[in-house]
Structure 1
């Protein structure tokens, strides 16, 4: 059996390295693929076969992808020189990329028409978790195929869940990400109000991180706000695609979600005010400027 992994970026690098251990254990032959020669160096050092040409992966039983966006995924699979032009019935594509729910279902339908299995398996977790093999992986597609590849997925993720038919993985991830967005937008709007009216930013942050209004977003992002840290490997601009993705679904199925709609407006205000290169907690900077305050701990310059 041959397995290939295409896309050795921030998240794909660790995942591909962990999956490569399957070759060391004698489970399959392995090929790592990326257009960037530098991304292949770690694999070459470990004696793992590499290529810069995705055409070299088309004889694989299972092809894993971790690519930046829907356009690149479509080009890699459906393009003029894409995988689907060369694959044969029975082969499987597993996509870890974060793309839209509708995009995933359309790709799956096209693949299925040619006898190719397609699973959408977006990931959740930061780069450190991808290196550790402790990501959360949410999977949509044929359940029998999922069960077949789960041992490989277990090399990359700590929580690997089958969510249902094609598109279910992407739908799960976008719902999770939008819930995070809502929580981040809520403290971004409210903390500047408290500071404007005289509350101590650090004490207010302590309450929002521990009391009933706490959330993963508040616990992880408020400490960064208090220290003036808005940098991150994943920008607000890129994260906005989750909002775009869920709104495609809401428009198609005519579903009104006022809270989510309000969060999207907060996102847009932050993007329009120059925060697009920073992370989600940078939404607070729009409201800081609006109210003329800084939500920082004492002594911060």
Structure 2
């Protein structure tokens, strides 16, 4: 099997999956079929996992969580045996990644562990960055496809390493946005303009792409969803599991996870995770 022979199925058409599927179709790599639990009415969309994937030899998963990945994987495993590669782009827990790898190996299916970094705009502009864990020769074959929806592929090692890399980088993002929310609230309550804080952070060692992107919208109470609070909460819980397995105390992400859970219960689950600033705007 070589990359020009790919018949691609994209399963999961949320904020990222729908845009990745669009970019793949535009790239003319071959037939691209899609499926989503809630129909989206997109080109190439099929009514079931089986219909979308039955003729595909490259199946890309952009699903919500570990439960969804396990459920969809079982439907894929029920298909007639065929030469197939499954690439998981969903952010899931390490146990599910290892389960999926083992189940694929038992069936002669190639599995790659490839979560991504980048949110809505990056996905629309084919600017995602994929972390890739698995056999080098298969990453080599799939990389040209990944680079139609992404700008880079970072090879992390064996299956499971990419999942860990994704989770720990999301730990940093969640804690950073909580820190930005606290800094913004404290500064503005003492009369400093949000614009002044944004400029100060940009010139400070704490400045980052994330801060430049989130601070201005947080100051306006604009929580238009690029990456949802519910998804970041999910990922924080997965990374807490990793820490527990290693016997580590991680108080920062634990506190942020608890705050995100509270805000999700308050109705902000589908807002951007920059809604960590929302409680301060009500004060």
Please classify the TM superposition score into its range, dividing by the shorter chain length: 0.7 to 0.9
Matched, 1:283 2:271: no
Q: 1:61 — aligned with what?
A: 57
Q: CA deviation at 1:180?
A: 1.0
Closer, same or farther: CA 130–273 of 1 in aligned 2, 3 Å: closer
2:114–2:131 contact (8 Å) kept in structure 1: yes
Residue 42 (structure 2) pairs with residue 40 (structure 1): yes
RMSD: 2.4
Equivalent residue number for residue 195 of structure 1: 188
* Equivalent position to 1:254, from 247, 259, 264: 247
- More displaced 10-residue stretch of structure 1: 279-288 or 157-166: 279-288
Task: Give the aligned partner of residue 233 of structure 2.
Answer: 240
1:94 deviates by 0.9
1:172 aligns with 2:165: yes
Structure 2 residue 31 is the aligned partner of structure 1 residue 30: yes
Q: Is the 8 A contact 1:269 1:286 kept in 2?
A: no
**Using a 3 Å threshold, how does the CA distance of structure 1 residues 153 and 101 change in structure 2: closer, same or farther?**
same
Residues 244-291 of structure 1 deviation map (CA, whole Å, 9 limit, x = unaligned): 1101111122122233333334434544555434322222232455xx
Point out the structure with max Rg over C-alpha: 1
Q: Where does structure 1 lack aligned partners over 5 or more consecutive residues?
A: 44-49, 293-301
Q: Secondary structure at the match of 1:52?
A: coil
Per the alignment, residue 295 of structure 1 pairs with none
Count of residue pairs the alignment pairs up: 276
- Residue-by-residue CA offset, 1:123-166 (whole Å, 9 max, x unaligned): 22233332332211111222221111111112221011221111
Q: TM-score, normalised by structure 2?
A: 0.86
User: Does the residue aligned with 2:31 lie in a helix, a strand or coil?
Assistant: strand
TM-score (norm 1): 0.81
